[in-house]
């Protein structure tokens, strides 16, 4: 094939008066080819196959919809019912070119960094050591595109309510909001559809209007639409998490707030060396200021008061002032909860730190309630400690069996400790060794193992060790001076023997 530049040169030489013979000699091209190129005015001809098969695009779309997108079935219907002879590879190529079987990739446009134009939000998962234990946490990050300010917080889990609480905390910390928030196609805010066709849920759309912005999803497989957000997560992974230790989730969030709103606000960003704090001062004039009295998001739930005056909420128990067992309304905020009865706030509690469970709380200034909740869980930590002191076989058995889900941990530990007190330590250790060997999880089976071992060794019960100093005890000496009890009533009745005949 002769290149486009050479074709153009041939036509220009022809216009200058050079003959086809001279052009062919000068460029080393056949004379007939030179004549054809001159006739085509030096343009590259469009190669059109004479035997190219053409199938009605509307027919292909109709069959593709009828066959639910199965190309093999479309091929069968074309060849058998429509009488169109086409190879499978040609059919699949036609469907791709028409964008029927696979949507064609479209180009995206660049959005300039305009002050006050938009903010971005996303979440990601990290494995973080909290108090020496690896814990999976969800990082939520809010990012202003122009000034590059960040607000970072970590959660054990992330749902729609926590998303609203996070936006409230971040936007109230800044005091401003951008009119547009770019998010991915998450179900936390999206009802259906994707990208520009995504419909935001009524709940989240109403929440966003209260803060003068709206959610917008980016197109599928276009995460670069919020590249600043993605780059911020990379900075969290490579700059914030390495070399830091965290005692608990509260300590992690305290350091994350200081890092994202303190250190990163005054650190030069990118090649331009932009400082977010100074850029934000310029961007404030283009953002929407938020009133300081905006109410925080909350969720309301109903709870019944037990006979001791407590309600249960997220694994803990809170005392309700009063003397009646009323049905109360609990308003749960991000950091506290309020208990209402007939639109009157009875008590307000700060939520306990992460990981606190089975604790009971009462309002400040009130006397401590005399009773515990009636459904308060009773852990068996003390029973487990006593069992582990009996020997290595018991320790190994507990390490295995306590990992089984659905075991009923506390009841099992109490029953096992009660069983250990019914037999000698040696017999109990042998029974546990056999139970561990055969992976026994039932207390009654362990008890039958002990009975079997007892029958195999001896037919008599082991003697009880008696402390011989019992004769010196005060209770024994006091009873020693009393009259001996009359136990003749317990003697067996005498049998009458017949007289000798």
Torsion of CA 75, 80, 83, 85, to 10 degrees: 50
Instruction: Please identify, among 418, 439, 457, the residue that sits at the C-terminal boundary of a domain.
Output: 457
Q: What pLDDT, on a 0 to 100 scale, did the predictor assign at position 501?
A: 43
pLDDT in tens, 119-151: 999 999 999 999 889 999 999 999 999 999 999
Q: Indicate if 27 and 175 belong to the same structural domain.
A: no
CA dihedral 333, 335, 340, 345 (to 10 degrees): -120
Give the separation between CA 210 and CA 354, rounded to whole angstroms: 30
- The percentage of residues in the chain with a pLDDT greater than 90, rounded to a whole number, is 48
Residues 218/226, Cβ–Cβ less than 8 Å: yes
* Position 200 in a domain: yes
CB contact at 8 A, 313 and 329: no
Q: Specify whether 318 is located in the same domain as 388.
A: no
**SS3 for 231?**
helix
Looking at the fold, whether 199 and 271 belong to one and the same domain comes out as yes
Mean pLDDT throughout 373-393?
84
Predicted confidence (pLDDT) per residue in 329-353, tens digit = 999 999 999 999 998 999 999 999 9
* 112 SS3 class: coil
Span 201-243, pLDDT tens digits: 999 999 999 999 999 998 887 877 888 889 999 999 999 999 9
Give how many domains the chain has, as a whole number. 5
Do residues 146 and 87 both lie within one domain?
no
Q: Which of 252, 268, 289 is the last residue of a domain?
A: 289
In the predicted structure, residue 402 carries a pLDDT above the cut 60: yes
- In this structure, are 131 and 278 located in the same domain? yes
The answer to the question of residue 14 being in a domain is yes
- The β-bridge partners of 182 are 120, 216
Q: Give the per-residue SS3 of 387-451.
A: HHCCCHHHHHHHHHHCCCCCCCHHHHHHHHHHHHCCCCHHHHHHHHHHHHHCCCCCHHHHHHHHH
Same domain, 207 and 278: yes
The predicted structure's pLDDT at residue 151: 96
In a domain, 501, yes or no: no
Q: How far apart are CA 383 and CA 417, in angstroms?
A: 7
Q: How far is CA 98 from CA 60, 64, 73, 92, in A?
A: 9, 12, 18, 10
Residues 414, 349 share a domain: no
Q: Is residue 294 part of a domain?
A: no
- Decide if pLDDT at 491 tops 80: no
Contact indicator for 214, 200 with CB cutoff of 8 Å: yes
Question: How far is residue 148's CA from residue 274's CA, in Å, rounded to a whole number?
Answer: 9
In a shared domain, residues 15 and 126: no
| pLDDT for 222 | 81
Other beta carbons within 10 angstroms of residue 391's beta carbon come to 16
CB 176 within 8 A of CB 287: yes
Indicate whether 134 and 279 sit together in one domain.
Answer: yes
Question: Do 274 and 126 fall within a single domain?
Answer: yes
Burial class (CB in 10 A: 0-12, 13-18, 19+), 7: buried
Confidence of residue 50 (pLDDT cuts 50, 70, 90): low
446 found inside a domain: yes
Does 495 reside within a domain?
A: no
Q: Which of 140, 188, 168 is nearest to 335 (CA)?
A: 168
Whether 228 maps to a domain, the answer reads yes
CA distance linking residue 402 with residue 261, whole number of Å: 43
**Closest among 190, 210, 223 to 120, alpha carbons compared:** 223
Q: Residue 79: enclosing H or E segment and its boundaries? A: helix 71-80
Parent domain of 30? 4-39
Of residues 380, 373, 379, 378, the one with CA closest to residue 312? 373
DSSP-derived letter for residue 296 is P
When pLDDT is cut at 50, 70 and 90, the band that residue 498 belongs to is low
Task: Report pLDDT digits (tens) over 437-485.
Answer: 999 999 999 999 999 888 887 555 556 666 777 777 777 777 766 666 6
Q: 272 in a domain, yes or no?
A: yes
Per residue in 420-438, pLDDT (tens digit) is 998 888 999 999 999 999 9
* 258 and 149 assigned to the same domain: yes
Closest to 57 (Cα-Cα) out of 25, 97, 27: 97
SS3 content of the chain, % helix, strand, coil (to 5): 40, 15, 40
Single residue among 260, 289, 318 that ends a domain in this structure: 289
pLDDT of 380 over the 90 cut: no
* Residue 152 and residue 282 in one domain: yes
């Amino acid at each position: 094939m002769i290149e486009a530049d050479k074709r153009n040169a041939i036509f220009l030489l022809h216009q200058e008066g050079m003959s086809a013979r001279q052009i062919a000699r000068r460029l080393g091209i056949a004379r007939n080819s030179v004549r054809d190129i001159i006739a085509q005015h030096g343009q590259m001809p469009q190669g059109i196959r004479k035997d190219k098969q053409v199938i009605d695009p509307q027919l292909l779309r109709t069959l593709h919809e009828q066959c639910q997108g199965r190309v093999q079935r479309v091929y069968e219907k074309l060849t058998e019912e429509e009488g169109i002879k086409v190879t499978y590879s040609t059919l699949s190529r036609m469907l791709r070119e028409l964008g029927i079987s696979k949507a064609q990739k479209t180009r995206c446009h660049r959005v300039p960094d305009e002050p006050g134009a938009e903010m971005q939000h996303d979440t990601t998962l990290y494995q973080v050591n909290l108090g020496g234990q690896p814990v999976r946490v969800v990082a939520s990050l809010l990012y202003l595109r122009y000034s590059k300010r960040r607000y970072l917080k970590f959660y054990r889990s992330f749902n729609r309510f926590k998303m609203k609480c996070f936006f409230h905390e971040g936007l109230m910390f800044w005091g401003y909001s951008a009119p547009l928030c770019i998010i991915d196609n998450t179900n936390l805010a999206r009802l259906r559809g994707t990208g520009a066709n995504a419909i935001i849920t009524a709940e989240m759309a109403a929440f966003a209007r209260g803060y003068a912005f709206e959610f917008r999803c980016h197109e599928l497989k276009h995460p670069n639409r919020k590249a600043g957000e993605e780059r911020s997560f990379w900075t969290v992974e490579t700059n914030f998490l390495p070399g830091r230790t965290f005692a608990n989730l509260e300590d992690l969030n305290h350091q994350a707030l200081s890092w994202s709103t303190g250190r990163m606000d005054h650190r030069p960003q990118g090649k331009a060396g932009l400082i977010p704090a100074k850029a934000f001062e310029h961007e404030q004039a283009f953002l929407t200021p938020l009133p300081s009295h905006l109410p925080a998001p909350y969720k309301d739930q109903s709870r019944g008061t037990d006979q001791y005056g407590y309600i249960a909420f997220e694994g803990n128990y809170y005392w309700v002032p009063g003397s009646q067992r009323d049905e109360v309304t609990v308003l749960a905020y991000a950091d506290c909860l309020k208990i209402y009865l007939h639109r009157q706030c009875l008590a307000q509690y700060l939520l306990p730190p992460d990981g606190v469970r089975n604790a009971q709380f009462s309002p400040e200034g009130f006397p401590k309630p005399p009773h515990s909740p009636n459904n308060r869980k009773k852990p068996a930590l003390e029973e487990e400690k006593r069992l582990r002191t009996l020997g290595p076989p018991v320790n190994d058995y507990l390490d295995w069996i306590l990992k089984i889900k659905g075991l009923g941990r506390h009841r099992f530990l109490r029953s096992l400790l009660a069983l250990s007190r019914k037999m000698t330590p040696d017999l109990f250790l042998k029974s546990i060794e056999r139970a561990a060997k055969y992976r026994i999880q039932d207390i009654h089976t362990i008890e039958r193992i002990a009975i079997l071992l007892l029958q195999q060794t001896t037919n008599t019960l082991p003697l009880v060790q008696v402390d011989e100093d019992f004769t010196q005890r005060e209770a024994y000496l006091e009873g020693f001076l009393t009259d001996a009890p009359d136990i003749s009533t317990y003697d067996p009745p005498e049998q009458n023997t017949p007289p000798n005949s």
